[in-house]
Structure 1
Amino acid sequence: MLSNGYILILIWIGVLGALTVMAPEWIYRTEFVNGEKVRRVTPLFAVVAVLPLVIWAGFRGNVGDTGAYMEAFADMPASLSGINGYMAGQEKDRGFYFVSAVIKCIVGNRDTIYFIIVAMIQCFLLFKLYRKYSTSFVVSFFLFIASTDYISWIFNGMRQFLAVTITVACFPWILEKKYVRAIIGIVIASLFHQSALLVLPFVFIVQGKAWNKKTLLFIIVVIAAVMFADRFTNILDTMLAETQYKNVVTDWESWQDDGTNILRVMVYSIPAILSLFGIKYIREADDSVINICSNMSIAAAGLYVVSMFTSGIFIGRLPIYFSLYSYILLPWEINRMFTKRSAQLIYIVMVVAYLGFYLYSLRSMGTF
């Protein structure tokens, strides 16, 4: 049976969308972003918009890995004096466990409050990005929900998603080419989940215009990885031999992981594909935010394609570091690549298609 929450969050986004149309003078304000005068939703509206999701994260029930996180939280010390001994027993992702232990020392053995605090941090870092850089905050919010990313990450893989959102917080430094700050931020994120180190080379790869030589080279590497999947997995196994993911290849083969669902790959590739067809509009705008988001989206699509032929459980968890930027890119593409009348039709098609994908994904997860 489909939980009311999964439908109510969609209704809530519908209400937000209606408010932006009926009372724009209350919702929007003018500010400067990346040197341009733009219209953005107010910080108060963004907080109110995301608050139900944050609260729901604390009362989500036993979704995905929630049970494992509850057990881990129960094993954490209840006083600051016990943290040193506890941390001595942690071999990986020590940043996450340290922060979690500190939270427990503050809130006690109340895992609901713990989940809310973690979700609050994640949502603050992510939706701060959308409020500042998205031409349509509500559309970006809708895409994050309808893609089921909130279930997969806020409700499930929250340790990795905390690392993801820390790398997202580094976006302004990536945009301004303040590489030292960005690298330090990403290294800090890797303390929460080591996979965040994957973002380091992309700090440089995504720079420049959309679909530049660096991104085209990345696509060639993706094609090679797909064509020679067996050799790719052997190389990956060797590269991960001395890390916490040393058994990744063995695990996905023993679990008969047949890769990411092709429908999910197609859905997450739409913004990158549109950026190729609409490259003229992106080049004319020459917006550094959109250029980088386009290249991030290409990276996400490429990794998803590789995961389709290798592992959905492991490789399929990596594109999240890049796919979140697609929710900035897609509304921009619709607004700039189409006439006003056509854009309205495209938005209707987008909403219907994503809702279909949302219900399909929930059914696949066994939610209803």
Structure 2
Amino acid sequence: MSGYVYILVWIAACYLITNTVRPIHKERTCGAWEYRYDFKWALIIFLPIVVWCSLRTNFGDTEAYRKSFLELPGAFSSLFSYVPTIEKDKGFTALSIIIKSIIGNSDIFYFFIIAAIQGLCLVIVYRKYSCNYLMSIFLFIASTDYLSWMFNGMRQFLAAALLFTAIGLILSKRYTLAIIVTLLVSTIHGSALLMIPMIFIVQGKAWNKKTLLFILGVILAIVFVDQFTNILSEAIVDTQYDDLLTNGIWENDDGTSMFRVLVYAVPTLLSLVGRRIILKENNHVINLCTNMSILSTGLYIVSMFTSGIYIGRLPIYFSLYNYILLPWEIENIFTKKSADIMYLLTIAAYLLFYYLQMHMAWNLI
């Protein structure tokens, strides 16, 4: 079996171990007592992904990142002379130089450190806020996000993962600090600036007027797709994505596949079905996750009609919240018996998607 299958076997093994050892305890989260995984066990569950990520070869942007890292100066003293010569994402370059000054020219350790930071961000948030941590990690894997981002677009995902840990700032409405964090993270990947207006849109109850206006904007973007595409092509000039224009990628980009969009839209659709229950519970975390899910689905729909490479990369800032939302929906919208069936159906559906994506689309298994 390949590593792409072994990682799913590992998650299944963790499920069996968890049911046997029960490394779960009660702790206070958002003002309520909840059952949560022990932090060490939560780390162990995610560790194989980090290790595998550090050992990857020739997947996606890996070689480009490796070449870029090896060409960086290795002395900390060069930080202040080299970084100013970089036009975009100076924060990522600075971080890479700092890492290289510590570990030397080892690209394996470099990938390990970046993946460890990303993984730690996910572990912290999912362990604290998800009602089913292991299911959240399974969804992250079976959705192929771990490959699309940790093995491929690691610079943008580093920004997305760091902003994901700012969920507490958003929940507590500490806007100034949240914006400062976003501005700092945007030095790693400029697309992180998208989060600043979204911080305010996602506040409030699920499916509120602001999210409905966002949906209206999505509909208008689709109706006037030609004009919207022209605006996009102008917007990406002198950004991280301007190579899409110079290399002719933009013209050949046929958008995100409908199948992938449908998969990412499932939590949003379930939230619409269970809207009455979500509003009744008025759980601030779930309200936030629902609104984030709506933003994610909206952007994915737009990317289906415009650019999968540009617009299709933006929802990662919001789709990570889906893996908190979906387990909660299963456990709270449905009865206990129905929830067990829904868990099985969800696992089966995501495994099917994983197989189709890995075998049919990417030819990896």
The TM-score by the shorter chain falls in which range? over 0.9
Name the residue aligned to 2:362. 365
- In 1, Cα distance between the equivalents of 2:101 and 2:140? 32
Give the counterpart letter for 1:111 in structure 2: D
Among 224, 227, 251, the residue aligned to 1:228:
224
What is the DSSP-based 3-state SS (H/G/I as helix, E as strand, rest coil) of the residue aligned with 1:289? Answer: helix
What is the DSSP-based 3-state SS (H/G/I as helix, E as strand, rest coil) of the residue aligned with 1:40? Answer: strand
Give yes or no for the alignment of 1:23 onto 2:21: yes
How does the TM-score come out when normalised to structure 1? 0.96
Compare 79-88 and 94-103 and name the one that shifted more.
Answer: 79-88
RMSD: 1.4
Among 55, 58, 71, the residue aligned to 2:54:
58
- In 2, Cα distance between the equivalents of 1:115 and 1:183? 28
* Gap change, CA 1:155 and 1:344, over 3 Å in 2: same
- In 2, Cα distance between the equivalents of 1:176 and 1:334? 26
* Gap change, CA 1:87 and 1:250, over 3 Å in 2: closer
Q: How does 1:92-107 map to 2 (within 5 A)?
A: 92-107=88-103
Name the residue aligned to 2:288. 292
Give yes or no for the alignment of 1:79 onto 2:75: yes
Contact 2:88 2:239 in 1 (8 A): no
- In 2, Cα distance between the equivalents of 1:142 and 1:241? 37
Q: How does 1:263-282 map to 2 (within 5 A)?
A: 263-282=259-278
Compare 57-66 and 14-23 and name the one that shifted more.
Answer: 14-23
Contact 2:88 2:240 in 1 (8 A): yes
Give the counterpart letter for 1:76 in structure 2: L
| Superposed CA offset, 1:56-94 (max 9, x none) | 111112111000011001101121122333223311011
Cα displacement (A) at 1:347:
0.9
Give the counterpart letter for 1:55 in structure 2: V
Name the residue aligned to 1:258. 254
Name the residue aligned to 1:216. 212
- In 1, Cα distance between the equivalents of 2:247 and 2:225? 16
- In 2, Cα distance between the equivalents of 1:208 and 1:39? 26
Among 46, 65, 68, the residue aligned to 2:64:
68
Give yes or no for the alignment of 1:169 onto 2:165: yes
Q: How does 1:180-219 map to 2 (within 5 A)?
A: 180-219=176-215
Identity across the alignment (%): 49
Compare 107-116 and 243-252 and name the one that shifted more.
Answer: 243-252
Contact 2:84 2:90 in 1 (8 A): no
- In 2, Cα distance between the equivalents of 1:114 and 1:341? 46
Give the counterpart letter for 1:23 in structure 2: V
Cα displacement (A) at 1:240:
3.9
Give the counterpart letter for 2:39 in structure 1: P
Cα displacement (A) at 1:237:
3.1
- In 2, Cα distance between the equivalents of 1:298 and 1:183? 21
For structure 1, the 5+ residue unaligned runs are: none
Contact 1:30 1:37 in 2 (8 A): yes
Contact 1:252 1:311 in 2 (8 A): no
What is the DSSP-based 3-state SS (H/G/I as helix, E as strand, rest coil) of the residue aligned with 2:47? Answer: helix
- In 2, Cα distance between the equivalents of 1:83 and 1:335? 50
Name the residue aligned to 2:87. 91
Give the counterpart letter for 2:272 in structure 1: L
* Gap change, CA 1:65 and 1:247, over 3 Å in 2: closer
- In 2, Cα distance between the equivalents of 1:252 and 1:19? 50
| Superposed CA offset, 1:207-251 (max 9, x none) | 000000000000000011011101111222344445444565676
Cα displacement (A) at 1:36:
0.7
- In 2, Cα distance between the equivalents of 1:254 and 1:293? 31
* Gap change, CA 1:359 and 1:225, over 3 Å in 2: same
What is the DSSP-based 3-state SS (H/G/I as helix, E as strand, rest coil) of the residue aligned with 1:208? Answer: coil
Among 332, 339, 346, the residue aligned to 1:343:
339
Cα displacement (A) at 1:320:
0.4
Among 312, 335, 348, the residue aligned to 1:352:
348
Cα displacement (A) at 1:253:
6.1
- In 1, Cα distance between the equivalents of 2:271 and 2:248? 33
What is the DSSP-based 3-state SS (H/G/I as helix, E as strand, rest coil) of the residue aligned with 1:115? Answer: helix
- In 1, Cα distance between the equivalents of 2:121 and 2:350? 24
Cα displacement (A) at 1:365:
1.7
Give yes or no for the alignment of 1:39 onto 2:5: no
Give the counterpart letter for 2:71 in structure 1: D
* Gap change, CA 1:200 and 1:248, over 3 Å in 2: farther
How does the TM-score come out when normalised to structure 2? 0.96
| Superposed CA offset, 1:135-159 (max 9, x none) | 0000000000000000010010000
* Gap change, CA 1:255 and 1:240, over 3 Å in 2: closer
Give the counterpart letter for 2:43 in structure 1: V
| Superposed CA offset, 1:74-126 (max 9, x none) | 10112112233322331101101110111011111100011000000001112
Name the residue aligned to 1:9. 7
Contact 1:233 1:249 in 2 (8 A): no
Cα displacement (A) at 1:358:
0.5
Give the counterpart letter for 2:29 in structure 1: V
Cα displacement (A) at 1:16:
1.3
